[in-house]
Amino acid sequence: MSMHADQQSEYLAFAGRLADAASAVTLPYFRAPLSVVDKGTARFDPVTVADREAELAMRALIRSTYPTHGILGEEEQRITGTDPLHWVLDPIDGTRAFITGLPLWGTLIALNDGQRPVLGVMDQPFTRERFSGDRERAWLNGNPLQVRPCAALSEAKLLCTTPDMFESGEQWDAFQRVARAARMQRYGGDCYGYCMVAAGQVDAVVEAGLQPYDVQALIPIVEGAGGIMTSWTGGDPQHGGAVVACGDARVHAEILRLLNTPG
In percent, how much of the chain has pLDDT > 90? 81
Average pLDDT over residues 221-238: 98
Do residues 37 and 48 make contact, with C-beta atoms less than 8 angstroms apart? yes
Average pLDDT over residues 19-27: 96
Do residues 68 and 81 make contact, with C-beta atoms less than 8 angstroms apart? yes
Total domains in the fold of the chain: 2
101 shares a domain with 58? yes
Judged against a pLDDT cut of 90, whether residue 261 lies above it is answered with no
Judged against a pLDDT cut of 70, whether residue 263 lies above it is answered with no
255 shares a domain with 176? yes
45 band by pLDDT with thresholds 50, 70 and 90 = very low
Distance set, CA 223 to CA 59, 61, 117, 147 (Å): 26, 27, 11, 9
121 shares a domain with 189? no
| Per-residue pLDDT tens over the stretch 158-171 | 999 999 999 889 99
- Among 32-36, 61-65, 124-128, 132-136, which stretch is predicted with the lowest mean pLDDT? 32-36
Among 122, 144, 166, the domain boundary falls at 144
242 shares a domain with 124? no
99 band by pLDDT with thresholds 50, 70 and 90 = confident
Q: Beta partners for 144?
A: 139
From CA 247, how far away is CA 105, in angstroms rounded?
Answer: 21
228 shares a domain with 173? yes
CATH number for the domain that contains residue 125: 3.30.540.10
Q: Can you give the residue range of the structural domain that contains 115? A: 5-144
Among 144, 168, 199, the domain boundary falls at 144
| Per-residue pLDDT tens over the stretch 113-133 | 999 999 999 999 999 999 999
Judged against a pLDDT cut of 90, whether residue 78 lies above it is answered with no
